[in-house]
């Protein structure tokens, strides 16, 4: 499966690209760094089934969830005989405290790297990708060939309305779905994500999985020469390098072969 990852090669982000090529690994970002305020900030509703899970977890180790109010643990709150289930489920303050310390808190401890599916064809959508993620067409796009059955690889789904989820934890099936749900306005990205544990900062890849490198239409000759030398120096083989070229007649981008590394 061909997936594409865009890079800026200016300032700190240049370091991310050089590290990627030099160490054959992808940086995994925290959702806190994302450009969409809704991304991984999941609305949820606490159901009675979810309440049972919270109660069971709180009895095992209430410290995992934390404190609802100073001096009162979640375990104490859930096991207060004076409180009915409906009181707890409908308590907005309690819902918000759980949201911050359970699912949403866990999401913000996850690590993610993103790709664009499809081909580099110079389409309208691709022009936007270069503008938003390829440093205004001055950056680089890497073409990878990944196994679509890769355990950590997930497609993003796009919705017109913001869905909500039950208050769940990392072991629940909806955990990944909650990290791969975005607004329809982002559909042009055709995004896939590698999602890993919060302890992972990088995702290693095999050198032979990197199949192509595309330089933006505004990439400088100096950057092209330097990055091409960098790729050669680190032992990548059977890879083609291109520069994107604006069409003279349409709002499209074409490709010009820079070199092939055999």
What mean pLDDT, rounded, does the chain reach? 83
Q: Report yes or no: 220 and 248 within 8 Å, Cβ to Cβ.
A: no
60, pLDDT greater than 50: no
Cα–Cα distances (Å) from 87 to 22, 45, 51, 65, 82, in that order, read: 56, 14, 11, 19, 10
Owner of token pair 């919705």:
159
Return the number of other C-beta atoms located less than 10 Å from residue 121's C-beta: 11
pTM assigned to the model: 0.80
- pLDDT digits over 2-13, tens only? 999 999 998 888
**Across the strands, what pairs with 140?**
7, 215
Q: What is the mean pLDDT of residues 133-148?
A: 95
- pLDDT digits over 160-210, tens only? 998 877 655 555 667 788 889 999 999 999 999 999 877 789 999 999 999
Query: How much is the pLDDT for 175?
Result: 74
- pLDDT digits over 219-241, tens only? 999 999 999 999 999 999 999 99
DSSP string, 100-122: HHTHHHHHTT-EEEEEEES----
Higher pLDDT, 107 or 146: 146
Q: Report yes or no: 66 and 101 within 8 Å, Cβ to Cβ.
A: yes
Q: How far apart are CA 226 and CA 242, in angstroms?
A: 14
């Amino acid at each position: 499966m061909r997936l594409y990852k865009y890079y800026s090669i200016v300032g700190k982000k240049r370091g991310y690209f050089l590290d990627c090529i030099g160490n054959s690994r992808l940086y995994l970002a925290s959702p806190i760094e994302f450009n969409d305020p809704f991304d991984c900030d999941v609305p949820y509703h606490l159901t009675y089934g979810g309440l049972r899970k919270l109660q069971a977890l709180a009895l095992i180790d209430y410290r995992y969830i934390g404190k609802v109010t100073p001096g009162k643990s979640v375990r104490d709150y859930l096991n207060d005989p004076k409180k009915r289930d409906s009181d707890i489920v409908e308590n907005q303050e309690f819902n918000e405290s759980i949201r911050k310390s359970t699912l949403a808190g866990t999401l913000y401890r996850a690590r993610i790297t993103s790709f664009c599916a499809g081909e580099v064809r110079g389409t309208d959508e691709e022009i936007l990708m270069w503008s938003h993620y390829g440093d205004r067409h001055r950056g680089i796009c890497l073409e990878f060939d990944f196994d679509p059955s890769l355990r950590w690889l997930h497609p993003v789904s796009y919705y017109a309305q913001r869905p909500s989820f039950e208050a769940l934890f990392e072991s629940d099936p909806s955990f990944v779905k909650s990290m791969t749900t975005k607004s329809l306005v982002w559909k042009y990205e055709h995004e896939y994500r590698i999602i890993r544990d919060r302890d992972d900062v990088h995702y290693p890849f095999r050198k032979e999985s990197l199949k192509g490198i595309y330089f933006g239409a505004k990439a400088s000759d100096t950057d092209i020469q330097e990055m091409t030398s960098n790729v050669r120096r680190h032992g990548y083989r059977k890879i083609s390098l291109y520069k994107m070229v604006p069409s003279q007649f349409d709002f499209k981008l074409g490709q010009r072969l820079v070199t092939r590394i055999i």
